[in-house]
Amino acid sequence: MYVKAIYPGTFDPITYGHIDLIKRASRIFPELIIAVAHNPQKKPLFTVKERVEFLKKATSGITGIIIDDFDGLVIDYAHKKKASILIRGLRMISDFEYEFQMALTNRKLAPDIETIFLMPQEGYSYISSKLLKEAVGLGADVSGFVPDFVYQALREKMVGSSKC
């Protein structure tokens, strides 16, 4: 049975935690779509185009993945792509309540789509894009949490602007 999965997110920016989950999911599913959500309500720092490019560069050595973007409900996107699995990452227990609520809502709206939760390596379990952006804005070196090209882009946007 051929199963296609989607790992949706804003990826603003992509972190080593995201990359770890992409590697794990790509070993389970023959086709994995990494879907960048437009989601302007989150006020992303990077454009959709930049986030897609970061993902392409960061995952260039991983086979069986497709990088795409979407707007609207992820379940509608999953139906359009004929995917039956959504991958969601759980870092800490604090993620669980929100992710569980979203998974149950998606199940009610689209019972044909399953949500699978994956946990990143322990060393990445506390990393979040939001926290890294805040840290860079305050002058921290977060180069150990993101690929070099992402770190440079973060510094250019956060330090080289009025955002910090």
38 catalytically annotated: no
Residue 162: pLDDT over 80? no
At residue 92, what are phi and psi to the nearest 5 degrees?
Answer: -125, 170
Question: Could you tell me if residue 72 is left (phi over 0), alpha (psi between -120 and 50 degrees) or otherwise beta?
Answer: left
List domains and CATH numbers for the chain.
4-124 (3.40.50.620)
pLDDT digits (tens, 9 = 90+) for 70-125: 999 999 999 999 999 999 998 877 778 888 999 999 999 999 999 999 988 888 78
pLDDT digits (tens, 9 = 90+) for 137-157: 888 999 999 999 999 999 998
Whether 107 is catalytic: no
Residue 80 designated active-site = no
Choose the catalytic residue: 26, 51, 88, 91. Answer: 91
Given the residues 42, 49, 57, 163, select the one marked as catalytic: 42
Backbone region of residue 64 per phi and psi (left: phi > 0; alpha: psi in -120 to 50; beta: other values): left
Active-site option among 26, 51, 88, 129: 129
Given the residues 18, 51, 133, 157, the one annotated as active site: 18
Q: Quote the pLDDT of residue 161.
A: 52
> Is 91 one of the annotated active-site residues of the chain?
yes
